[in-house]
Amino acid sequence: MSGAWLDLDTDGETLDETEARGGALSAVGRKAAIAATLPLLGLYFTSGKQPLTVSPTLGKAASGLLLHELLAGLQLRVALAAAARLEIILSRISERPTFRYQLTSLESVGAITGQLDVNRYTTSFGAVAEAPIYPVIHVERAQETAENVLVAYAALWLLRELQSSYRSSVAPATAPEAQEYGRRTRALDELLRLPWLAGCIRKADEVKRRQDEHALIAAAKSRLRRREIANATPYRELVDWIERSLEGQPAAESGDLDWSFYGDRFDTKLFELWCLHTLAQEVSRQLCVNMPTVHLSWRSGDAAYKWERPAGTLTLHFQRSISSISSEHKPEWRRQEDNQRSLGGIPDIVAHAIKRSDGTEHMAIIDPKLRQRGGPPTEELYKVLGYLSNHSLMSSPRGAILYHTTAAEGELPSYSYERHGASGALHAVALNPARPIQSRSAVGPVATMLLGLLDIPPLLASVDKEPIADNDSEASAEVQVRARSLELQALAAAMPKSLLDASKRRLETVIGKGRWTVLTSEIQTMLATSEHVGFSLDPAADFSGPVIGICASAENILHDYIFGPAIAHNTQLGNGCKTLGQVIHATLRALNNGNEALHQAILAQLNRMNVVHSTAQQLMQDLANMNRRYRIPAAHRDLVSEATWQAAWNVLIGPTGLLARAVDVLILGTPPSASP
């Protein structure tokens, strides 16, 4: 049966996920691992160094394949997945393709049948002809817009990709891929024959010949920006898709393939890549940040995943020697016969952290093993200890073994060890790709250990206390604010006192000693930590942490002096104010004769403080602007630029900044123009 080419169950039955011989994934586990790591696999195969030369991975009908045939098989499957995705985009474009009006010069014999071209007519006046000829201008629709040429370019590109990979592969005519290939190529052919697109083919071929794709993309993006495209959404998706593909990113996303394109000979590598991906997912989840993008250069020696945090940089490397990652940790053992030859070894995953405060390096070794074990993998743990010892990493050793299990239910077994009387951690965790949620939970202690390399606690465990609705963006932002604040607090606790004191002295000078001394020690520490991080980060790094840190100073003053005391005798009044925006809104309502109990309590507190209402109202409006322009954007997991950090610093910090005004109005009770 044709399914043999895909190494599928030839009887059409679903294999039990517990069926997996030692050293191999189950059919269900293999499919799940591929779906989860497809972008990673796409980049992995770009180097051409993958160990598939002796593996009959295309099933019984394809034994003895050469490497280029195996790569063509992968290329075909990815192209089919990309075609399925592109077909959806193009079908939505076909519903309302764009056009533009253009002027065409024609000649009308005997009568004027359009708008007379006066310039041409006057220059030809007096010409002798049997019948009068009138030059006219006709207005007609033209479909050859930049975005439509891009549609033709994408369809032609993918059609060639499908044809090339199918010819190079050994897929039999009865295979599901061959049938899918026929359906996808027919759909693309039919699309290219549509009247609105047929005229764009010549220009698309010219773009390919001149390698002018980026100029075409720029023209389409310009029309999108100027809102000249009515059916903008699918065109924008097409532009993004082609742009990413030209940059070398995978053309298909996770889950786009519905079949397994490897045999079990590749299972070991697949399990290692899946473990790398799952670990990166859990590290990002505990940090409350987006999953970092895998860059193409990771196959050339760079890190696979990288997190730039206020405390420092954390990277995950795949199959790199420890000494190539850090020159400080050369192997100690050398061959006796040749003292220049060291005892090497390449771990599967190396976590490397560099602290920003002092530049110290810390490492952890993680070794995935596609072996099923009935108990803790003791032998493999000793191997990890060997790596750590040989590379002088035993002062605070950290390592983990991630081994395979086919357990279909219940908790996945795990074991943790700590060194008696000294720092150190070893973990052994069983994982099953067919159970991604449970596996991510099981690998949690390993991710926590990696964050510990930078003294960062698992932030999510401290901030994600209550379920948040999917459409509640402001509540989600507050979770991010708490996470970033906790991260800065952890950094402050680990920073050398001299660095914090230097930042505090600079801040005291900037905002004034009188104001500085009335701030709580918590606010002072948060401000000093944010100042140190914000002015020491790499310009390309994420500045969300320091932005949120300086915004938190004004936020804490508002809570400590107005909102907290207002609800002190009836905390239920604050049930409707879970976010800073809601607190500011409630305070503004109180200043504008709000009649609810909370508004009355806030107004009473402001009166006890002898706050001038008009001054407080202006301050609240400026705090609302700060929240909208800096704090909330910094809390939505998007990268915050250095320019945004500098703008937020200028708004908040300084003799007349928002922080100084908040201190003057809410603590010192002085007019906003006064400077103590």
Q: What pLDDT was estimated at residue 55?
A: 28
- Alpha helices by DSSP H, 297-452: 322-325, 378-390, 436-442, 444-452
Q: What pLDDT was estimated at residue 474?
A: 65
pLDDT digits (tens, 9 = 90+) for 255-297: 344 433 444 557 788 899 899 999 999 999 998 888 888 876 7
Distance in angstroms (rounded) separating the CA atoms of residues 332 and 441? 36
Residue 127 burial (CB < 10 Å; 0-12/13-18/19+)? exposed
Torsion of CA 557, 560, 563, 569, to 10 degrees: -170
368 has which bridge partners? 402
- Res 602 pLDDT > 50: yes
Q: Which has the closest alpha carbon to 484: 306, 636, 627?
A: 636
* Residue 480, both tokens: 């991010």
> 3-state SS of the chain: helix, strand, coil percent to 5?
55, 10, 35
pLDDT digits (tens, 9 = 90+) for 129-152: 566 766 655 555 556 788 888 888
Q: How many residues does the chain have?
A: 676
Q: What pLDDT was estimated at residue 115?
A: 60
DSSP 8-state symbol, 306: E
Distances (CA, A) of 118 to 121, 122, 131, 132, 153: 5, 6, 18, 15, 39
Task: Round the average pLDDT of the chain to a whole number and report it.
Answer: 79
Mean pLDDT of 354-366: 90
Q: Are 193 and 185 in contact (CB under 8 A)?
A: no
- Res 101 pLDDT > 80: no
Q: At what angle do helices 544-558 and 613-626 cross, to 10 degrees?
A: 160
Q: In what order do the strands lie in the sheet with 115-116?
A: 100-109, 133-142, 115-116
Name the band, by pLDDT with cuts 50, 70 and 90, for residue 517.
Answer: very high
Distance, C-alpha 469 to centroid of its chain: 21
Distance in angstroms (rounded) separating the CA atoms of residues 171 and 162? 13
Q: Which of 8-12, 103-107, 398-402 has the lowest mean pLDDT?
A: 8-12
* 182 or 337, greater pLDDT: 182
Mean pLDDT of 52-81: 48
Segment holding 221, helix H or strand E: helix 213-225
Distance, C-alpha 307 to centroid of its chain: 11
Tokens 């390309």, residue located = 540
Distance in angstroms (rounded) separating the CA atoms of residues 77 and 72? 9
Q: What pLDDT was estimated at residue 324?
A: 87
Tokens 């359009």, residue located = 114
Q: What pLDDT was estimated at residue 411?
A: 84
Q: Are 457 and 486 in contact (CB under 8 A)?
A: yes
Distance in angstroms (rounded) separating the CA atoms of residues 26 and 7? 12
Tokens 């049997």, residue located = 130
Q: Which has the closest alpha carbon to 105: 95, 91, 115, 93?
A: 115
Name the band, by pLDDT with cuts 50, 70 and 90, for residue 119.
Answer: low
pLDDT digits (tens, 9 = 90+) for 433-487: 989 899 999 999 999 999 999 999 888 766 655 544 445 566 677 777 888 888 8
pLDDT digits (tens, 9 = 90+) for 410-441: 888 888 888 887 888 999 999 999 898 999 99
Q: Are 549 and 488 in contact (CB under 8 A)?
A: yes
Q: What pLDDT was estimated at residue 622?
A: 93
pTM for the full model? 0.66
